[in-house]
Amino acid sequence: MLDNLTTPQWVAFAWIELVVVYAGYLWYLNWRSRKAEEE
Amino acid sequence: MVNNMKARKRPLWLTLLGLACLVGFGIGAYLALVASPPDVNQGYLIKIMYAHVSVAWICFAAVALSAIFGMLYLWRGRPQDDIRALANAEAALVFSFLTVTGGMIYSKPTLNTYWTWDAKLTLTALMVALIVGYFLVRALIDDPRRRARVSAVVMIVVLVSLPFNYLAAEWFRTLHPAKSLNLDGSGVTMDASMLRILLINIAVAGLIYLFFVSERIRIGRATVAKRQAREPVPVSTEVVRVG
């Protein structure tokens, strides 16, 4: 499926992946912060 | 002893740093995706390079700082150093994951393969495995002091592998391109406009790293402060041999 991506799609894929991982870690930090407050 | 109230609240500067990260990321992404000229060989695929190289540099910095704080813990035995080492190790895990996955996404359209077991990529895989090992070690050891000591040694091992990883593309035949930006000052083989955009994206990734680590240290301090409030006297399960 990924083999047929065009150049703009590869570029978008790389940058979206960056945003998703940053957002995911931010979500994890918020969860840890809430957990620390609740303990 | 960690100040409980001070550790619990997110300070204003940290919130402002988070906002600066958002603005910085917007500027870095605009420069990479819109303003950057196409490369003579790679064309517009060069826009992936700004995302890949910036996180790779920060990954190396996070590993180095985690190992340095680990060494400080081994030297001084202060819990704050372990909290800082752990925060940097988490950032190292995030940025190493981004380095590997971003590299695979960059490699497929430019080199027609996601992965190959050459020296550079194998050393990178080893680095990621060792960072994962750092967290496995922490999960398996209950005693906080022993956990901090053993995990510090694991991160020092990762640090030792970094120079080999950094120079692998120069020393061995590898699919990974050679460096375009030599830290020893021997030269830059990159167009000035691209170099500017790359350096801005490295600075933005550094800002995001700083925010992640500062927030993780704050959470770590709050967790330790709560634990200390519940159990005022830390108990070690280690066996001490006398005589």
Kindly list the domain boundaries of chain A, sorted by start residue. 8-38
Would the CA dihedral through B94, B6, B78, B238 be positive or negative? negative
Weakly modelled stretches of chain A, pLDDT under 70: 1
φ, ψ at B163 (rounded to 5°): -60, -40
Mean pLDDT of B110-115: 92
Q: Is B103 exposed, middle or buried (0-12, 13-18, 19+ CB in 10 A)?
A: buried
Task: Search chain A and give the residue with CA nearest B112.
Answer: A3
> Among residues B230, B202, B218, B213, which one has the least CA distance to residue B55?
B202
Q: Say whether residue B94 is in contact with chain A using an 8 A CB cutoff.
A: yes
Residues of B in contact with A13 (CB under 8 A): 105
End-to-end CA distance of chain B: 31
Instruction: Kindly determine whether residue A7 and residue B43, on different chains, have CB atoms separated by under 8 Å.
Output: yes
What is the distance of C-alpha B96 from the center of its chain? 6
pLDDT reported for residue B170: 80
CA atoms within 13 A on the CB side of B60: 16
In a domain, B235, yes or no: no
Q: B58 lies in which domain range?
A: 4-230
For residue B217, is it within any domain?
yes
pLDDT in tens, B178-204: 776 666 666 667 888 999 999 999 999
User: Is B51 touching A (CB cutoff 8 A)?
Assistant: yes
pTM higher than the cut 0.80: yes
Of the pLDDT bands very low, low, confident and very high (cuts 50, 70, 90), residue B41 is: confident
How many structural domains does chain B have? Answer: 1
A-chain residues within 8 Å CB-CB of B226? 36, 39
Q: Given CB atoms, is A6 within the 8 Å cutoff of chain B? A: no
Cross-chain Cβ contact B102/A29 below 8 Å: no
